[in-house]
């Protein structure tokens, strides 16, 4: 059974909040996604979407980039200040730079308009599967004062929670599961399935940089990640596993 970001088993229907000023598309999504046990709550105003997020707890947010008064990037940043809910961003522009920016500020995936609704369903399911702790993912990974609780999807540094996005957590876990092994961008992309390759390939370095800042690592004095320019990264810390089944 899938679990929500809050650790609770999800109901039969996945609850998705759509923030998009395209009323016609919102209605089409409501109708189409309902066939896949996905309930859509659609709003056209970003402030209304933020209010909905505070009073309700959707399993995922579909967020348009081109919104009135406040663009999707600004809304994404506000959402990340209050929630780790998965975010798939939608755009009609399809520029690689936009996709990289969206991923950099905390989006979990990116989809360009017009899109096949079947692809949207696949991406929703893929993002949510990444958040679902499987039995093999129970236990923890520990490297000095850094700890990842795989069951809860939480990172801790010196006992204090580290605010990682879903992609950042999964990426850090991937490296900690493979210490001492060179991992290039292709391997990271393959592991983090569902991310649009061209955009994510360019944002791997950005994501590593963000993780480093959050866990007190640096290029000049690496404790965890060693950079091999043009090749990839190696997790250099000694990792111990606890509670794996």
Q: What ranges do the domains of the chain cover?
A: 14-130, 135-242
Q: What is the DSSP letter of 145?
A: T
Residue-wise pLDDT for 54-72, tens only, equals 988 899 999 999 898 889 9
* Residue carrying structure tokens 């060693």: 226
The answer to whether 14-130 and 135-242 have equal CATH topology is: no
Residue-wise pLDDT for 182-198, tens only, equals 988 777 876 765 444 44
Distance CA 165, CA 143 (A): 20
pLDDT bucket at 39, cuts 50 / 70 / 90: very high
Cβ proximity of 110 and 188 under 8 Å: no
Residue-wise pLDDT for 66-124, tens only, equals 898 889 999 999 999 888 899 999 887 656 666 677 777 888 888 888 888 888 988 89
What's the start-to-end Cα distance of the chain, in Å?
18
Residue-wise pLDDT for 134-163, tens only, equals 544 568 999 999 999 988 889 999 999 998
The CA–CA distances, whole Å, from 22 to 58, 63, 123, 134, 172 equal 20, 11, 20, 37, 36
> What was the pLDDT predicted at 207?
83
Give the distance between the most distant pair of CA atoms in the chain. 53
Pick the CATH number of 14-130 from 3.40.1620.10, 1.25.40.10, 3.90.1150.10, 3.40.50.2300: 3.40.50.2300
> What was the pLDDT predicted at 137?
59
The CATH number assigned to the domain with range 135-242 reads 1.10.10.10
């Amino acid at each position: 059974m899938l679990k929500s970001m809050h650790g609770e088993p999800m109901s039969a229907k996945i609850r998705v909040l759509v923030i998009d000023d395209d009323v016609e598309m919102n209605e089409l999504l409501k109708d189409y996604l309902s066939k896949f046990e996905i309930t859509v709550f659609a709003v056209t105003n970003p402030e209304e979407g933020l209010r909905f997020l505070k009073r309700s707890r959707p399993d995922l947010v579909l967020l348009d980039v081109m919104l009135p008064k406040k663009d999707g990037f600004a809304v994404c940043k506000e959402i990340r200040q209050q929630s780790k809910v998965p975010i798939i961003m939608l755009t009609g522009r399809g520029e690689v730079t936009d996709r990289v920016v969206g991923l950099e500020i905390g989006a979990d995936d990116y989809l360009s308009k017009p899109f096949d609704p079947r692809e949207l369903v696949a991406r929703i399911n893929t993002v949510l599967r990444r958040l679902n702790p499987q039995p093999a993912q129970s236990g923890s990974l520990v490297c000095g004062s850094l700890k990842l609780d795989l069951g809860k999807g939480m990172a801790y540094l010196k006992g204090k929670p580290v605010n990682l996005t879903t992609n950042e957590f999964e990426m850090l876990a991937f490296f900690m599961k493979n210490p001492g092994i060179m991992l290039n961008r292709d391997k990271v992309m393959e592991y983090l399935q569902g991310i649009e390759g061209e955009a994510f390939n360019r944002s791997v370095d950005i994501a590593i940089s963000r993780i480093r800042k959050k866990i007190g690592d640096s290029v000049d004095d690496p404790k965890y990640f060693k950079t091999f320019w043009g090749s990839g990264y190696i997790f250099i810390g000694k990792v111990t596993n606890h509670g794996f089944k």
